[in-house]
Amino acid sequence: MPTLEVSFLLEQLEERKRRLEAAVASAPQNSSLVDLLHEVDSALDRMAEGTYGICLECHTSVEQDRLLADPLVQYCLDHLSGPERDALQRDLDLASQVQRNLLPKKGLRVGGWETSYHFAPVGAVSGDYCDLIPTDGQLLFLLGDVSGKGVAASMLMAQLHALFRSLSGMSLPLGQIVTHVNRFFCESALAGQYATLVCGLTKSTGEVEIHNAGHCPALVAGRGGVLRIEPTGLPLGMFRETEFCATRVHLENGDTLFLYTDGLSEASNESDEYGVDRVIKLVRHQAARQPAELIAACLDDVRAFTNGSPSFDDLTMLAVQRCC
Ligand SMILES: [Zn+2]
């Protein structure tokens, strides 16, 4: 473990020892405090011996982020005790509930635009981001994918959610909102953490301004076929100073915007990947459907394609249809 982390953990343990000793002195009848003090002493002994942070069961390193969160853990994730496993599961269930509460209302309709989405984390929580924000009769729609998976990615997803939610109320042009979010995100994300994103603003006239920051192509499906809206910028969080250009499209009544994360295009069976071309073909065939039906048809198709192969990635889809 790097020296900086070791000295931080040593400080943490010594601080806990001091506090526990003071607490035991004032409440000697509290046996759980005495037990905790023994645990801290034993961790300090292991640190002195050089065996701290080694799993008692398999003798490999305990995950560093778990030690930083709780310097007393003694088992790697694979060898948690029953009560530890239960506690971790409770935390994950709660995080999952918090993340689900960040999702927009199902079946939202705003100013002549109808929406539907599907959000399916591969584990308890997801690094996928999906939001729908009504602003002055217009609809701001967002779909993104934070690098990595699990709890760390879901925390960054929650941060994106908060940034867009707060900036969308400030009557700024969409391009400026994306630029601000990118800067904030650069300052808070760790090196190597970034987010791809498609976002857009609909008008009641059918005009849509779309920004694609390094994400899979957004699709516009209608009677004229399918239009791909390719990325015009880099993912958020990569470079502090970067430009985000808009693509403007006009949707007729019944035309649909379809956005998805790579959990769809990269879904695979034993021999093949689903792929963007299959997504486009399906969206072209199902273009006349309502948003919820389009998403259900996509889910049916990808399930038939993967044929029971386990999925390894979060999957999110969003359909926004003009219906005036
Ligand atoms: Zn282990």
Q: How far is the CA of 61 from the centre of ligand 1 (A)?
A: 8
Give percent of the chain above pLDDT 70. Answer: 99
Q: How far, in Å, from the CA of 158 to the mean position of ligand 1?
A: 31
Q: How far lies 316's CA from each of 81, 113, 145, in Å?
A: 34, 19, 9
Strand order in the sheet with 113-120: 109-110, 113-120, 315-322, 256-260, 218-222, 225-229
Give the pLDDT mean for 284-299.
Answer: 95
For ligand 1, the distance from its centroid to the CA atom of residue 234, given in whole angstroms, is: 39
Q: Report which residue type is found at 286.
A: Q
Separation of CA 291 and ligand 1 centre (Å): 47
Instruction: Compute the distance from residue 9 Cα to the ligand 1 centre, in Å.
Output: 20
Which chain residues have CB less than 5 Å from ligand 1, an ion?
Answer: 55, 57-58, 76, 79
Contact predicate 242/213, CB 8 Å:
no
pLDDT at 124: 87
Measured in Å, residue 63 CA sits from the centre of ligand 1 at 10
**Chain segment 111-145, per-residue pLDDT in tens:** 899 999 999 988 888 899 999 999 988 999 999 99
Cα 91 to ligand 1 centre (Å): 20
Cα–ligand 1 centroid distance for 287 (angstroms): 51
Ligand 1 centre distance from Cα of residue 73 (Å): 11
pTM: 0.80
**What is the rounded distance in angstroms from the CA atom of residue 110 to the CA atom of residue 302?**
29
Specify the 3-state DSSP secondary structure of 213. strand
Q: Are 100 and 158 in contact (CB under 8 A)?
A: no
Sign of the CA dihedral 269, 271, 275, 281?
A: negative
pLDDT tens, 178-225? 999 999 989 887 767 899 999 999 999 999 999 999 999 999 999 889
Residue 168 has pLDDT above 90, yes or no: yes
- pLDDT, average across residues 162-174: 95
Contacts of 108 (CB under 8 A, 6+ apart): 115, 132, 134, 139
73 phi, psi to nearest 5 deg: -65, 140
